[in-house]
Amino acid sequence: MQIRISPSLLACDFLHLEEEVRRTEAAGAELLHCDVMDGVFVPNISFGFDIIRAVGTVSALPLDVHMMTCAPQKYIEALKTAGAAIVTVHNDIGLTEAEMIGVLDAIRAAGMIPSVSLRPKISAESVTALLPHADMVLVMTVEPGFGGQKFMADMLPKIAAVRRAANRLGRPVDIQVDGGINAENAARTAGAGANVFVVGTAAYRAPDMRALLDHVRRAAEAAFCPRP
């Protein structure tokens, strides 16, 4: 499976958003990670669809939108209009399993890639029934809501469990990790089966973003295990 880096715009300098987007693209990123927070599902508010749409006007990179919101199903059309390529929703927003499947199927029907996220307290087993309907699973390696947190190594078994479940279904599901990712722990998560890496603070505070992303990519490629 392809190793991809998705720098998180939440960590960029918003005063110079256009320059930061162009810098990220020039650094060799494969995706642009956009965190939408509603202040309810997580205790923070970030940005909305107008910002996502604006980002899409200055970059050809696929927009990887992480909906940290209570009711993402209300915004599928808005996400499509904003130019989202991937839409990740959390599976602990109070919907039934059937309703979650409906949300993922609606994202796909709108022409976007459906993805489901697990925050640290949510088990890998909770997405088993959703895997036939999701092309990506995001395993949070910090508590969602704020950047700059420390990577939680106890999420490694969960990553491996999701990869094994996807393998049993014969589905090439991407596994994304988000939270405190750097070259060292990117290798550890890749060894557990992750192949998409959200890099925030480490990328935007690096003296040379391209060198940092290359370092993360090489470390992940060397360690990636599709069957942990």
Distance CA 48, CA 2 (A): 29
Residue with tokens 């993360």: 216
Q: Is 105 a catalytic residue?
A: no
Annotated catalytic residue: which of 35, 64, 135, 174? 35
Report DSSP state, residue 45.
B
Annotated catalytic residue: which of 64, 135, 174, 178? 178
Q: Is 35 a catalytic residue?
A: yes
Residue with tokens 């998560």: 189
3-state class (DSSP) for residue 14: helix
**CA of 62: how far to CAs of 6, 58, 113, 228, in Å?**
9, 12, 11, 28
The 10 Å CB-count burial string (b at 16+, else e) for 64-101 is bbbbbbeebbebbeebbebbbbbbbbbbebebeeeebb
Known catalytic residues?
35, 178
